[in-house]
Amino acid sequence: MSQNIFEALRESHERQRDLYRQLVATSGDTPERQALFEQLKTELLAHELAEERHFYVPLMDHDAGVDLSRHAIAEHHELDELVESLEDADPATPAWLPLAKKLADKVEHHLKEEEHKFFQMAGKLLTEKQKAQLAKDYVATYEEAKTTTA
């Protein structure tokens, strides 16, 4: 049985959760902190790009999907700005961890909202065939983005 778009998105969501949990458990300017931040950054960017293209854009074809899609894309921009703030911040300073925790909280809020609100609505708007095709397209774009942003 092939994957649907929701299963594909959830896999990336779980990777994001795993990475930010590890990241906020780090202390000081360590190679581990740097590596986890880079992994999380790559994961977020690849996920956002593929998700906007193969989940939110198709949902905008439906009147009921426009507001949710705009809201989610606006949240992606907020996440990008937090990532940029973390890139500019010195990982050795005490200010870095609260910023990383803020990013973790924002990511979690966004993922929960998608899983509890957006997926239900999208489930009603998209056909089974679309859900399967979007999953394939999402995974292809996501994998490609991960290799180009890494």
* Sequential pLDDT tens for the chain (150 residues): 579 999 999 999 999 999 999 999 999 999 999 999 999 999 999 999 999 999 999 999 999 999 999 999 999 999 999 999 999 999 999 999 999 999 999 999 999 999 999 999 999 999 999 999 999 999 999 999 999 865
Q: Is 2 helix (H, G, I), strand (E, B) or coil?
A: coil
Q: Are 45 and 142 in contact (CB under 8 A)?
A: no
Longest dimension (CA), the chain: 50
Q: How far apart are CA 147 and CA 133, in angstroms?
A: 22
CB neighbour list of residue 137: distance below 8 Å, 6 or more residues apart: 53, 54
Other C-beta atoms closer than 10 Å to the C-beta of 34 total 12
